[in-house]
Amino acid sequence: MNVSSAVVRACALVKTHGQGQSRVRAVDEVDLEVPQGQMLAVMGPSGCGKSTVLHLLGGLERPTDGELWVAGRRIDTLSERALARMRRRSVGFVFQAFHLVEELSAAENVELPALLAGRSRRQAGRRASLLLERVGLAGRARHLPSQLSGGQRQRVAIARALANDPLVVLADEPTGNLDTAATLDVLRIFEDLRSAGQTLVIVTHDERVAATADRLVSMRDGMFVDDTWLAGSRTRGLGGLIGLGE
Amino acid sequence: MQDAVLAMLAKEPSHGYHLRARLQQSLGPLGESMNPGQIYVTLTRLEKAGLVVCERADGLPERPERKVYALTPAGQQRVAAWLAEVGWPKPDLAEFHLKLAAAAAARLADPIELVAAQRRELLRRLREVQQAALAEPAGTGAGLLLEGVVLRLRADLRWLEACERAWSKADDEVEDG
C-alpha cells in the first residue's frame, strides 16, 4: 500500500509516561495503516494503551518516538498551531462522556466546529441541521444536552464530529455509557457512515462495537498482538447459530 | 423443533404452510436457512408418534385437499410437559477447555494461539448476528432472539479472555521458573 492511500499511517509509534524507574511504555512500537473507508476497531483490556493510540492518531498527544502521517502529511513534527488546525479540519472525535457544551443547544454544539474552522453562520447552521437529521435528531435541535438522553447526546456528539467532513472519525469507547438500545442506535449510525465511505477508528471494550468493524486489532501492554479481518467472511449462516439446519 | 411445532398447534389445528409462516415470523433472519420441507418432516414424525392427527379439510378451490394437523390428547400432554420443563441447552465449554489443556501438555499447539483463533471465529459470528440485529426493525420477536444470540456470543468471548489471561500467566511462570 502506498503512503497516499492510507488516511492514517503510524510507524514504530512509541509513547512513554513518567520518568526513570516508573517510566511506562503506554504504546510500544505500534505500526498501523488505515486505508480510506475502513472501519477499524481497537480492543484490549483497560490500561493496554488503546486510548493513548487514539489520542496520538488524532494529534491530541504527541508520540515520544516514531512517525505519524494523516492523509500523507507527517503530523508528529508539526507546530502546536498547525497540529490544532489539522485536528479541526481532518479529525472528528467522539468520546465516552460525550463532552458537549452544556450551555449550547444540540444544533449549536454541532455548528461550533464549523464556525471555529471559519465557515459562515449560515453554512454551519445548514450543515448542522443536515447532520442532526442524519443521526435522527432533527426534532431535538433546540434542546440542551441536559434535556437529552445519553444515547441522544452521543448522537449529537457524532454529528458534531462530522461537522467539518473529517478524513477520519476517532471514537473512544463511544458506547461505554449507553444501554443496549442506545448502543444499537450508535452502531446503526456507524454502519451508515461506513457505507458512505467514512474512515473510522473506534477504541472499545464492547464486543458488539468491535464486531461492527471491518477489521479488529487487539492490544496488550502497549502492543498490537492480533490483526483480524472480520468483513466479508461468511460463517455457517445464522440458522447454525441457534442449532437450526444442522 | 418437534416440541415447538407441537406447541404451536395448541392454539388451534393448522396447515403445515401456516405453521411454517409462524415459525419464520418468530425466527426472522435466523430462520432463513430452514429447509422448506423441514416442517412436513417434523409433522410426519409427530403423526407417527401419535402426538398429532392429520385430517383432510375441504380446501379452497385453488388449493384442494389441504392437510390440517391437530394435537391428540398425548400431544397435549407432551406440550404441557415441555412448557413446564426447565432444561436449558448446555454450552459446550468443556471440550475447548480440554483441548487447551491437551495442546499445552503435549506441546502440540500454543493454547494462546488456539484461543486467538477461536476468538476470531466468534467475532465473525457476532458480526453476522449483529448486522442482522441492526437490520431488524425494533420490537420484533426475531430481534429479541438475535439479542439473545449476541449476549451468548459475548459471554463466550469474555470466557476466552479469561482463558487467554490464565494461559499467558501459565506461560510466564514456565519462563520464569
For chain A, the domain total comes to 1
Per-residue pLDDT band for B135 (boundaries 50, 70, 90) equals confident
Contact state of B34 with A238 under an 8 Å Cβ cutoff: no
- pLDDT score, position B138: 72
- Domain assignment present for A219: yes
Minimal Cβ distance to B124: which of A212, A235, A239: A235
Size of interface A-B (CB pairs under 8 A): 79
Contact state of A235 with B153 under an 8 Å Cβ cutoff: no
Residue A197 backbone class (left: φ over 0; alpha: ψ -120 to 50; beta: rest): left
Domain-terminating residue out of B84, B114, B135:
B84
Instruction: Supply the range of the domain harboring residue B17.
Output: 2-84
Closest listed residue to residue A77, CA positions, set A85, A67, A90: A67
Q: How far is CA B68 from the centre of its chain?
A: 27
Looking at chain A, how many residues does it have?
Answer: 246
Cα distance from B120 to chain A (closest Cα, Å)? 7
Q: A37, exposed or middle or buried, with CB in 10 Å at 0-12, 13-18, 19+?
A: middle
pLDDT of B177 higher than 90: no
**How large is the ipTM?**
0.83
pLDDT of B7 higher than 80: yes
pLDDT of B91 higher than 80: no
- pLDDT score, position A41: 97
For residue A233, give the chain B residue with the closest CA.
Answer: B124
CATH number at residue A136: 3.40.50.300
| Partner B contacted by A237 (CB < 8 A) | yes
For residue A228, give the chain B residue with the closest CA.
Answer: B120
Domain-terminating residue out of B57, B84, B111:
B84
- pLDDT score, position A244: 64
- Domain assignment present for A25: no
pLDDT of B58 higher than 70: no
Do B43 and B26 belong to one domain?
yes
Vertex A190: Cα angle to A63 and A32 (nearest 5): 30
Mean pLDDT in residue range B85-91: 82
Minimal Cβ distance to B33: which of A210, A216, A240: A240
pLDDT > 90 fraction of chain B, expressed in percent and rounded: 54
For residue B34, give the chain A residue with the closest CA.
Answer: A245
C-alpha cell at A103: 450551555
Beta carbons within 8 Å of B167's beta carbon, 6+ residues apart: B100, B104, B111, B112, B115
Q: Give the model confidence (pLDDT) of B14-28 as tens digits.
A: 998 899 999 888 898
pLDDT of B65 higher than 70: no
Domain-terminating residue out of B51, B84, B117:
B84
Do B78 and B99 belong to one domain?
no
The A residues from 29 to 48 touching B (CB cutoff 8 Å) are 45
Enumerate the β-bridge partners of residue A92.
A169
Please give the residue that has the higher pLDDT: either A94 or B173.
A94
Instruction: Supply the range of the domain harboring residue A131.
Output: 37-62+80-231
Contact state of B150 with A244 under an 8 Å Cβ cutoff: no
- Domain assignment present for A236: no
Contact state of A216 with B33 under an 8 Å Cβ cutoff: no
CATH number at residue B76: 1.10.10.10
Please give the residue that has the higher pLDDT: either B32 or A85.
A85
For residue A183, give the chain B residue with the closest CA.
Answer: B134
Contact state of A187 with B153 under an 8 Å Cβ cutoff: no
- pLDDT score, position A56: 96
Do B101 and B148 belong to one domain?
yes
- Domain assignment present for A14: no
Do B73 and B146 belong to one domain?
no
Strand runs (DSSP E) across chain B, as ranges?
14-15, 52-57, 66-71
Q: Which of B124, B158, B167 to mutate to test the interface with A (most CBs of A within 10 A)?
A: B124
- Helix, strand, coil percentages in chain B from 3-state DSSP, rounded to 5: 70, 10, 25
- Domain assignment present for A67: no
- Domain assignment present for A149: yes
**Which residues of chain B have a CB within 8 Å of the CB of A242?**
27, 30, 145, 149
- Domain assignment present for A242: no
| Partner A contacted by B139 (CB < 8 A) | no
Minimal Cβ distance to A244: which of B30, B130, B157: B30
List per-residue pLDDT tens for chain A, 246 residues long. Answer: 444 579 999 999 999 998 888 888 999 999 999 999 999 999 998 889 999 999 999 999 999 999 999 999 999 999 999 999 999 999 999 999 999 999 999 999 999 999 999 999 999 999 999 999 999 999 999 999 999 999 999 999 999 999 999 999 999 999 999 998 899 999 999 999 999 999 999 999 899 999 999 999 999 999 999 899 988 766 566 777 776 644
Do B48 and B68 belong to one domain?
yes
pLDDT of B173 higher than 90: no
Q: Which of A225, A234, A242, A246 to mutate to test the interface with B (most CBs of B within 10 A)?
A: A242
